């Protein structure tokens, strides 16, 4: 306790075929915090499995908070053929454009 870092808001089962093959991001039983029936991070304490914590003393709290949405954006861009300087539309209600 007391380490600075980033948290992944998804909870994985670590037992399905995807988790066991190292692709936990597509876990068959994935649950996301801050969704109905799962409380989010707007509380004083959160208890999560240790694999969801990525320690980093170099990140500020703001940078750590933005690292997961940034990772989604970078991963999404890598799946496209969009090039620097091109115009795109991001459609969606959430901060990541879902």
Which residues of this chain interact with Zn ion, rule CB under 5 A? 12-13, 16, 19, 27
Q: Which lies closer to Zn ion via its Cβ, residue 6 or residue 27?
A: 27
DSSP 35-85: BTTB--S-SS-----GGGEEE-SSS-HHHHHHHHHHHHHHHHHHTS---TT
Q: Which lies closer to Zn ion via its Cβ, residue 4 or residue 31?
A: 31
The residue nearest Zn ion at its CB is 27
CA distance 8 to 41: 11
Q: Which lies closer to Zn ion via its Cβ, residue 29 or residue 60?
A: 29
Smallest gap from Cβ 21 to Zn ion, in A, equals 10
Smallest gap from Cβ 11 to Zn ion, in A, equals 10
Q: Are 33 and 9 in contact (CB under 8 A)?
A: yes
Smallest gap from Cβ 12 to Zn ion, in A, equals 5
């Amino acid at each position: 306790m007391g380490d600075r870092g980033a948290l992944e808001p998804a909870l994985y089962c670590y037992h399905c075929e995807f988790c066991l093959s190292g692709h936990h991001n597509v876990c068959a039983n994935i649950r996301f915090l801050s969704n109905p029936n799962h409380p989010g991070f707007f509380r004083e304490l959160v208890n999560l499995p240790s694999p969801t914590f990525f320690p980093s003393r170099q990140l500020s709290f703001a940078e750590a908070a933005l690292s997961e949405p940034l990772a989604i954006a970078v991963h999404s861009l890598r799946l496209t053929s969009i090039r620097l300087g091109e115009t795109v539309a991001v459609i969606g209600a959430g901060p990541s454009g879902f």
